[in-house]
Amino acid sequence: MARNAAISITAMKLEPQGDTLRITDIAELGAANSNVVRDQARAALAPGLINIEVDLSQTSFLDSCGLGALIALHKTACDRGGKVSLLRPQSAVERVLELTRLHRVFKIVKG
């Protein structure tokens, strides 16, 4: 359970891989850090990077603010002719995506 999970925004890693920006190690994506995640991702989006992959395998929590950040990044990627992929979401996070019908918007890559 999430009780002892560190709530850290600095643990997040951003690394370019070809034309894709990979974002990993997000413990939670919620109101407390969604804007930071969005802004850091946009800042890291150097020219030539068109796709964004968000690794959600370590993400135990996603709320509507976190969804807002993902949608913002989706728009940015679309503007560049790319897309956002969400990798290996945990079941709770996947459920939020399905609940809000956003699994139709993002490409979800399962384990």
Chain residues in the site for other proteins (CB under 8 A): 1-5, 7, 28, 30-32, 61, 63-65, 67-69, 71-72, 75, 92, 95-96, 99-102, 104-105
Q: Which is nearer to other proteins, 44 or 102 (CB)?
A: 102
CB of 95 to other proteins, least distance (A): 8
Nearest C-alpha neighbor of 20 from the set 53, 42, 54 = 53
CB of 7 to other proteins, least distance (A): 5
Specify the 3-state DSSP secondary structure of 59.
coil
The DSSP call for residue 11 is: S
**What φ, ψ does residue 53 adopt, rounded to 5°?**
-115, 125
CB of 18 to other proteins, least distance (A): 27
Q: Which is nearer to other proteins, 32 or 109 (CB)?
A: 32
The DSSP call for residue 30 is: S
Nearest C-alpha neighbor of 28 from the set 62, 3, 52 = 62
Q: Which is nearer to other proteins, 14 or 102 (CB)?
A: 102
